[in-house]
Structure 1
């Protein structure tokens, strides 16, 4: 499509997620931002190019609040209407091209943590570019300082971290005005309430809540001890009491419902047939990874799948109490968490557990943006960055219509799905990217040592 710097997307239905209304109107976009919104009855200027979106529905660009993006499948996020991602652990040097990119490029904008901080022996192995393993508080403080200087937007800790190390991480992060996020799924000595009391803000996967209710439980524990728990009927009263305590600490949840839902659906997982998933298969991206993991179906269901209804109950209960609950996917973790597309399934699951369509959209737009203080995205609003998704059908009637993508607008630039998916990086490009990264990371390690 011809590039336009100043144009009007005219005569569509604008879904205003901030005010929970929709109306017929037009959006003037100039230099990547929304300059003006016209209602149906207002005359449009006759000296500005017009892009007709009659019969279409315009929503803000979607935000995946928990994923692990790579350049190899970044176009698939944007082709799915995901214009921003919150990368919850990885390495900021490896993501530098996307983090530093102009805001209209054909990849999502990236709000990223650096490598996770874990305790010994390390759930993902020993210290590497993706994780720091330590039981020493001062080493953890030093790592927080390094990450802050490297440009991390928040700090991520993992399940084997010791309490005294977590305390040091939280204290040091506050010096840099950085929030701390935790994944406590595998925690053996720490639970969600304890982490909240220490000062952790973000609870990925609503993790650590099970440990707070069932002291001693963790995925690799002897599950025979816990056979008395009816995981299909979560204890709603105890969950509500725990959520009330967590709310006092103003924590935020990203439950990643699709993660456990795909496990429970196995061997017939949610698998939409569309351009995005067809491209992943054609390019051989992640399919082998998921197929290898799917072989462990029984183990995944016993250790992770049993948490499905528990996590869904926590998410809805916490939201009903007024807590912040946002939409994320953990792509490409476990099985069939399709880049970009998994967020659409997440929104469907939000609706299935009792959120309205507009509430689900808010969890991936305005509420998500506000939760990380990104003040210029997440809504169709004058002065905001022009990140939009143009849909063929109304998602307020059926949330599944978020997948009916006609075009994507990123920083004011209009893209088709085909355009985005035709620019998937080659294997050769990725090999060079990783080689260059390894050189940069060796410099970082030499400075650290």
Structure 2
């Protein structure tokens, strides 16, 4: 399919990135939106595709993921028309970013490699630094390559954060971070703009917590930190930090370890070896700990919501063996469980995401915005679906049928993609341990 000169798409409900409308239509002219109008006001000369029983939304933005080429059609099939890659091999991801328009992929934004200390956690997709001088140089070199932001990973020394953040801001970029082990407050005071996974919160609320990573949120001892959690939430709000909690990743960690298992779509549409490499063995005790951890993380995110902290929707696919696109819808459902309305959760994957990413033509259904939209069965003003029935996706003015996207032929070359090689390397080392 190719863009048509002028066409309108109408649905019972339309979400424009900020609010819902009833019985409206989006008028598309080639690769741009020309208007959002009541159906009754459409010109009789405008061809209209009607979708009764559906909601029309802007193309979704997954603000935290790691790109592999097989993911592109799957993202589109679920209505995700933009992704922000938050760490990859720099030349490879910039080449993918240059190709998205010619492939059945979402548009791609890139933060370049994971800038990390020595040794890096994911060496094949990292830029290794060893001191403040090399750390600042890495930020400047990454920015000069033409990326869309900067990402710091978990082994960055606390004293490097401020000069790295200053270098990113001087280059006109926001800077995001995995804040383990120094804590979110150290990162925020150093100039970091966004934190991922609620990573580092434990260092702020429970400095002497038991050893471990995010699953420690499921430890019963966390209850004694409630007063401190509220204080930390206050400080995060005062620092004007943005939270991208990737709750879908937390959710994956209990699912993969319990008999409940993954979502059926993950088995159907993800390469079997990648699912194996990015998943984990059954472990009911740890699975139940992760379940409690997710609920505790949602309670903390609710504190942030109540204080007006901006939240963005990101999935972290394919980490945790979660499926592109479908996992972002799961993220939105989990965000509603933190107290957000369906409109506010959708905003985290549309207008709020576009605002933070400085992409004014994305995330909204308004005149001169990119013609990116998705039509989903059901009334999304009432509830968001875990497993959406997507009727149609329009990316850059071109309509796509989800069933056609999901029938894309298997391409074994994904195994050479940087994150595929990284996951295989991690899995091989786990098997040898």
Q: TM tier, shorter chain?
A: 0.7 to 0.9
Q: CA deviation at 1:11?
A: 3.5
What secondary structure is seen at the aligned counterpart in 1 of 2:92?
coil
User: How many Å separate the matches in 2 of 1:123 and 1:432?
Assistant: 19
User: How many Å separate the matches in 2 of 1:218 and 1:387?
Assistant: 46
> Which residue of 1 is the match for residue 252 of structure 2?
262
The C-alpha deviation readout for 1:30-51, integer Å capped at 9, x for no partner, is: 12111122213214241x4433
Say whether residues 1:308 and 2:294 are aligned partners.
yes
Say whether residues 1:357 and 2:307 are aligned partners.
no
| Aligned counterpart in structure 1 of residue 308 of structure 2, from 305, 317, 322 | 322
Q: CA deviation at 1:170?
A: 1.2
Alpha-carbon contact 1:392-1:405 (below 8 Å) kept: yes
Q: Pairwise mapping of residues 38-437 of structure 1 onto structure 2 (< 5 A)? A: 38-46=37-45, 48-101=46-99, 103=101, 105-124=103-122, 128-185=123-180, 187=181, 190-217=182-209, 219-220=211-212, 229-231=220-222, 233=223, 235-265=225-255, 266-269=257-260, 271-274=262-265, 278-280=268-270, 283-284=271-272, 286-291=274-279, 293-295=280-282, 307-334=293-320, 336-400=321-385, 403-424=388-409, 426-427=411-412, 429-430=413-414
Alpha-carbon contact 2:81-2:107 (below 8 Å) kept: yes
Moved more, 104-113 or 74-83: 104-113
The C-alpha deviation readout for 1:70-101, integer Å capped at 9, x for no partner, is: 11222111111111111111123212343123
What secondary structure is seen at the aligned counterpart in 2 of 1:140?
helix
User: How many Å separate the matches in 1 of 2:177 and 2:143?
Assistant: 17
Alpha-carbon contact 2:53-2:377 (below 8 Å) kept: yes
Moved more, 196-205 or 50-59: 50-59
Alpha carbons of structure 1 residues 154 and 6: separation in structure 2 relative to 1, 3 Å: same
Q: CA deviation at 1:327?
A: 1.1
Alpha carbons of structure 1 residues 45 and 97: separation in structure 2 relative to 1, 3 Å: farther
> Which residue of 2 is the match for residue 445 of structure 1?
none
> Which residue of 2 is the match for residue 35 of structure 1?
34
Alpha carbons of structure 1 residues 402 and 227: separation in structure 2 relative to 1, 3 Å: closer
User: How many Å separate the matches in 2 of 1:432 and 1:227?
Assistant: 36
Alpha-carbon contact 2:115-2:153 (below 8 Å) kept: yes
What secondary structure is seen at the aligned counterpart in 2 of 1:319?
helix
Alpha carbons of structure 1 residues 194 and 111: separation in structure 2 relative to 1, 3 Å: same
What secondary structure is seen at the aligned counterpart in 2 of 1:95?
helix
The gaps in structure 2 that reach 5 residues or longer are 422-433
Alpha-carbon contact 2:17-2:351 (below 8 Å) kept: yes
Q: Pairwise mapping of residues 5-44 of structure 1 onto structure 2 (< 5 A)? A: 5-44=4-43
User: How many Å separate the matches in 2 of 1:375 and 1:141?
Assistant: 29
Alpha-carbon contact 2:59-2:80 (below 8 Å) kept: yes
User: How many Å separate the matches in 1 of 2:203 and 2:218?
Assistant: 15
User: How many Å separate the matches in 1 of 2:105 and 2:401?
Assistant: 13
Alpha carbons of structure 1 residues 409 and 401: separation in structure 2 relative to 1, 3 Å: farther
What secondary structure is seen at the aligned counterpart in 2 of 1:13?
strand
Alpha carbons of structure 1 residues 295 and 61: separation in structure 2 relative to 1, 3 Å: same
Alpha carbons of structure 1 residues 433 and 67: separation in structure 2 relative to 1, 3 Å: closer
User: How many Å separate the matches in 2 of 1:227 and 1:411?
Assistant: 43
Q: CA deviation at 1:219?
A: 4.7
User: How many Å separate the matches in 1 of 2:87 and 2:260?
Assistant: 26
User: How many Å separate the matches in 2 of 1:136 and 1:210?
Assistant: 25
Moved more, 48-57 or 142-151: 48-57
Moved more, 145-154 or 406-415: 145-154
User: How many Å separate the matches in 2 of 1:159 and 1:210?
Assistant: 14
The gaps in structure 1 that reach 5 residues or longer are 438-449
What secondary structure is seen at the aligned counterpart in 2 of 1:93?
helix
User: How many Å separate the matches in 2 of 1:432 and 1:333?
Assistant: 17
Q: CA RMSD in A?
A: 2.8
What secondary structure is seen at the aligned counterpart in 1 of 2:301?
helix
User: How many Å separate the matches in 1 of 2:264 and 2:64?
Assistant: 23
What secondary structure is seen at the aligned counterpart in 2 of 1:403?
coil
Alpha-carbon contact 1:10-1:54 (below 8 Å) kept: no
Q: CA deviation at 1:57?
A: 1.8
Alpha-carbon contact 1:407-1:415 (below 8 Å) kept: yes
The C-alpha deviation readout for 1:342-371, integer Å capped at 9, x for no partner, is: 111111111222211111111111111111
Q: CA deviation at 1:269?
A: 4.7
Alpha carbons of structure 1 residues 100 and 269: separation in structure 2 relative to 1, 3 Å: farther
User: How many Å separate the matches in 1 of 2:168 and 2:148?
Assistant: 10
Give aligned pairs, total: 417
Alpha-carbon contact 1:65-1:86 (below 8 Å) kept: yes
What secondary structure is seen at the aligned counterpart in 1 of 2:96?
helix
